[in-house]
Structure 1
């Protein structure tokens, strides 16, 4: 069937594996996207209809046309007020989403800053970001970052008022804080890499660290693929595989799984999906954390260079060695002081922040973190986009008239 706005569909495992069993949805279409896709697939925007016949959550889904099924009779709407227990559940879900997003993004930025200090954190003064932290702020949009950096050979998307969006007004993001040669080379080439056709040959850690927030996008058809797609814009090979695993770990932590559960699930689910599976990327780090935790020689062995796979292995080893919420300070200091510790500390910070939330991060460090307000605003706005739809939709006007100015989306 060819879906149309207004159609009510049952989206289950026949449409996409992510909707198998209890993840199936009743879905009211608002719009059908015309962006290019794989043959037989389509992007749909609409609302999930709950058991009371009410539009509960705005989502964008990527599904197979052949697997879509019309719903012949919709659940009858119930006009009674929402029961207080249901309201409490909705509030709790949003609070949990917010805690995961803030913890992940703030933890990533904090790990980046502590890594830059190589674990020798000064008693006072600003904790500065590196290019890895800057890129994570933009995540997908490396072009705006490169334009703000004043890198030659980057053509503007518009002849005036570009780069745009609120991040373009943050002075720190315009400062040179280290190099990102693979990202710059890919952007200068003017061809965005894809999973099928990557550009360049870099397998560096930036392809992982800037992709980790993709795991927070649980409305995306697959956070694993989203993380990989972001990485593939500028990187290739093992870096893309590491990004897929890293974003999967963030997603699983957001679902409420413990660090150990998330590691095992990501390791198991990735088998056979790529050349570098969870077994080869996570296995050695998990075994080292079990048998030889908190040992500098082990971290140096796992994360001795600036490759994405090394950053993931080092970050996982540190997170599992210092898994308790009160150990994050020790975890980041340890990660930053050994081998190519900056990237391992960034990954460990994101994982531990997502697992334990922002309240577990050292307040004295956060209060000195250069990009703390930027990171916290990005995390909060991400959750707002999912839960409130401030940019508007076919079901209502925008609740924030300036949202598109802040996040242009092009």
Structure 2
């Protein structure tokens, strides 16, 4: 990363409320898509329709022994948020390298995959790492576990898993787009630099960057089509961009091909790499009559339903805000209280951080939640 972005302008009350709704919507929407799709991942379209009808699931289906269970995609998204807040707090010390702070957050997530529960003695881990419900293995991709299996941070020059094309970095990258005070090219760069902590193929890290830029546009009030066009314009100068650019262009073209259906979503997903997952999610967000319809379409195929659902949910949540999400689904969501609290902390940090911490004065409660170390 280069120099820190300039501080955002003073936020009015209405702007803060709209922003908080979009932050909440993005995190909740992504988690709902993850939860809706997780029980369907790996099933054939025929099996999905036998169990849930031709339109796919109309409600959250129990998985992992409970209703509303999230997967590693949601876990890692929450730790992305945690890392970004910690980066802002550490800025007071003169240290400014968000990819490092996000990497440290991912290492804290990795600890949840091997430890029985939080170590209360490690206050430097902060608030999120003390949430016991996150200490659960929920289908993390081997690339994520291997990439975060030691303290060495992947970089663009030396990425972890350099041939990995999976969509896991895409699913965790919506929070970068919520940095609405940043310029889009910096959002893209940050998402890319954090994607290579686990996945090193251009398709994967540019897919993550494109998703972040699209969410960024939506969080700033752009239409979905305009946000996708901005991502396309930024991607074309990046080496290795064709799979992601071609996928997004196919998604835009598919909108004009008649009534949406599961077969078309499956065609866009293809082999389930980052480009296909992003393309399918964008298509479903574009053609969905409402959030419920868009999410049901996003998970109704024989590809990685949870990944497409999570990305589509993040897009729709950023576009419409939290109040447009299906309330009955939100009520079932595992970790809902944590997600909402973290979303509100993120919104408060990004709009009022100077009142929470500064070189001269600071809130001890805030620094207990998000330590500078």
Q: Return the offset for 1:169.
A: 2.3
Q: 1:42 to 1:253 in 2, by over 3 A?
A: closer
Distance across 1 between alignment mates of 2:160 and 2:277: 21
Q: Distance in 2 between matches of 1:174 and 1:163?
A: 17
> In proportion to residue count, which structure has more helix?
2
Superposed, which structure 2 residues align to 1:27-46 within 5 Å?
A: 42-43=3-4
| Aligned partner of residue 29 in structure 2, secondary structure | helix
Greater per-residue strand proportion:
1
Aligned match of 2:241:
276
The range that moved more, 197-206 or 310-319, is: 197-206
Greater displacement, 328-337 / 355-364: 328-337
Q: Provide Cα deviations, 1:90-118, integer angstroms capped at 9, x if missing partner.
A: 11221221122111111111111111132
Give structure 1 regions of 4+ aligned residues with deviation exceeding 3 angstroms.
41-44, 119-125
SS of corresponding position for 1:228: helix
Shift of 1:316: 0.6
Distance 1:122 1:270, change over 3 A: closer
- Mapped to 1, the partners of 2:275 and 2:215 lie a distance apart of 16
1:212 aligns with 2:174: yes
SS of alignment partner, residue 75 of structure 2: helix
Cα distance in structure 1, aligned partners of 2:137 and 2:180: 32
How far does residue 315 in structure 1 lie from its aligned partner after superposition?
Answer: 0.5
- Aligned mates of 2:196, 2:319 — CA distance in 1: 26
Pick 1 or 2: higher relative contact order, CA cutoff 8 A, min separation 6: 2
- Report the CA distance shift for 1:409/1:185 in structure 2 as closer, same or farther (over 3 A): farther
Q: Structure 1's 149 and 409: CA in aligned 2 closer, same or farther, altered over 3 A?
A: farther
Matched, 1:99 2:21: yes
2:281 counterpart of 1:315: yes
Residue in structure 2 matching 1:382, options 335, 346, 354: 346
1:286 aligns with 2:252: yes
- Return the match for 2:264 from 298, 301, 310: 298
Cα separation, 2, equivalents of 1:42 and 1:191: 23
Match of 1:132 among 65, 68, 73: 73
Name the CA distance, whole Å, in 1 between partners of 2:311 and 2:3.
Answer: 33
Determine if contact 1:183/1:234 at 8 Å carries over to the other structure: yes
Residue among 309, 315, 336 paired with 1:351: 315
Aligned equivalents of 2:142 and 2:178: distance in 1?
Answer: 27
Change (3 A) 1:42 1:321: closer
Q: Is the 8 A contact 1:207 1:240 kept in 2?
A: yes
The match for 2:153 is 192
2:335 aligned with 1:371, yes or no? Answer: yes
Unaligned 5+ residue runs, structure 1? Answer: 1-36, 49-55, 58-88
Counterparts of 2:307 and 2:346, CA distance in 1: 24
How far is 1:122 from its partner? 4.9
Relative to structure 1, the CA distance from residue 97 to residue 224 in structure 2 (aligned partners, 3 Å threshold; closer, same or farther) is same
Name the CA distance, whole Å, in 1 between partners of 2:364 and 2:124.
20
- The runs of 5 or more residues in structure 2 that have no matched partner are 41-55, 81-101
Q: Is the 8 A contact 2:247 2:275 kept in 1?
A: yes
Query: Judging changes above 3 Å, is the alpha-carbon distance between structure 1 residues 194 and 220 closer, same or farther for their aligned structure 2 residues?
Result: farther
In 1, the alpha carbon distance for the partners of 2:38 and 2:174 equals 18
2:301 is paired with a residue whose SS is coil
C-alpha spacing 1:254/1:366, structure 2 compared with 1 (3 Å): same
For the structure 1 residues 264 and 42, does the alpha-carbon distance in structure 2 shift closer, same or farther, using more than 3 Å as the test?
Answer: closer
Cα 1:212/1:409, change in 2 over 3 Å: farther
Query: What displacement does 1:47 show?
Result: 5.2
Q: Normalised by the size of structure 2, how large is the TM-score?
A: 0.79
Tell me the equivalent position of 1:337.
300
The DSSP-based 3-state class of the residue aligned with 1:214 is helix
Matched residues, number: 323
> TM-score normalized by structure 1?
0.73
Please state how far the C-alpha of 1:184 moved relative to its aligned partner: 1.2
Measure the CA separation in 2 of the matches of 1:267 and 1:212.
Answer: 17
Give CA deviations for 1:154-197 in whole Å, capped at 9, x if unaligned: xx9x9952772121222221011113211111122432111232
TM-fit CA distance, 1:409: 4.5
